[in-house]
Amino acid sequence: EKAATDGGTASKYYEAFTYKGAEQIELTDAFLDHMMPANWFNLSWSKRAPIQVSVPSGSTAADYQVKFTINYDSDMQTDFDDLRFIDDDQTTNLPYYIESKTDGSSAVVWAKIKDVITTTPQTIYMYYGNPSVSSESNGDNTFLFFDDFESGFNGAKWERNRDASGGGCGAFVSVGILYVYGGDGNCPGWARSKVDLPNKLITESRWKVWRPGSSSCYPDCQEEGGLYVQKYDYSTYYTGIE
C-alpha cells in the first residue's frame, strides 16, 4: 500500500523508516524483513538517500568519477565515516574518496560510478546511519592514479631524476607535499608516474611555484602514458614546485 504520510510508493515509505540502534535488539528478523525493502543494502545502515547522475549530452566511460558535496545529516557520524555509496543493484559497493570535509557540516566526496553515465539519469544510493563503522574512503580504489603524498615518496608510483631531500635538483616529499627543484640547464628536476594512463583523462592537483628564476614548470601527460611533474630552470636559481 502507498504510504499515507507522503503519498509515495511503499519503497519511499520504507526509505523514510528508521529505528534507533539501541532498539534493534528488540526487533525480530521477521519484523525487519517486513518493514525494510527487500533490496536494502545492509540493515546496519538505517538511512539511505537516492542520488541521480547523468550528463547533459553524450556519455562517459564506465568507472567514471563523480564529485558530490554532502551536507551533514544528524543521523550521520559527524566525521562522515559511515558514508557508503551503493550501485542501483543494491549489492555493489562503489569506491569513494573523501577529498575534504568539515566535521558536522559538509564533505566533498568522489564516487566511481560502475556503469556508463548517459543523458538518462541513473540512480545510486548513499547509505548512512551506522554509528560504529570506520571510513572506507580510498583514493587508490577510486581514481586511475592517486597520491596524496601522506606516506612520503612512493617509489612504486613515481620515478624521479634524483632524490633532492638533501638539496640540489630533483624531487622529494615532505609533510604531504611533493617538491620538485630545478637547477641550471644541466639539471632539470622532475617526477614521473610509473602508471600508464589512457589518452583521454582529466588530472587535478594543487601546486604552486616559489622562488622563480627564468624558468618553465608544469605538470604534463607524456606520450608514453605517464604523468610528468617537471621543473626546468635555465638560471642559476633553484626553483620549486610544491
In the structure, what pLDDT confidence band is assigned to residue 222 with cuts at 50, 70 and 90?
A: low
**Length, in residues, of the chain:** 242
Phi, psi of 102 (to 5 degrees): -120, 110
Q: How many CB atoms lie within 10 A of CB 195?
A: 15
Q: Which long-range CB contacts under 8 A does 95-98 form with residues at least 24 apart? A: 95/138, 95/141, 95/142, 96/136, 96/137, 96/138, 96/142, 97/137, 97/138, 97/139, 97/141, 97/142, 97/143, 97/146, 98/135, 98/137
**pTM given for the model:** 0.74
Residue 184 has pLDDT above 80, yes or no: no
Residue 16 has pLDDT above 60, yes or no: no
Residue 183 has a pLDDT of 66
Pick 203 or 81 by higher pLDDT. Answer: 81
In the structure, what pLDDT confidence band is assigned to residue 217 with cuts at 50, 70 and 90?
A: low
SS (H, E, C) the chain: CCCCCCCCCHHHHHHHCCCCHHHHHHCCHHHHHHHCCCCCCCCCCCEEEEEEECCCCCCCCCCEEEEEEEECCCCCCCCCCCCEEECCCCCCEECEEEEEEECCCEEEEEEEECCCCCCCCEEEEEEECCCCCCCCCCHHHHCCCCCCCCCCCCCCCEEECCECCCCCCEEEEECCEEEEEECCCCCCEEEEECCCCCCCCCCCCCCCEECCCCEEEEEEECCCCCEEEEEEECCCCCEEEC
Q: What are the tens digits of pLDDT across the range 27-79?
A: 444 444 445 666 889 999 999 999 999 999 999 989 999 999 999 999 999 99
Residue 47 has a pLDDT of 93
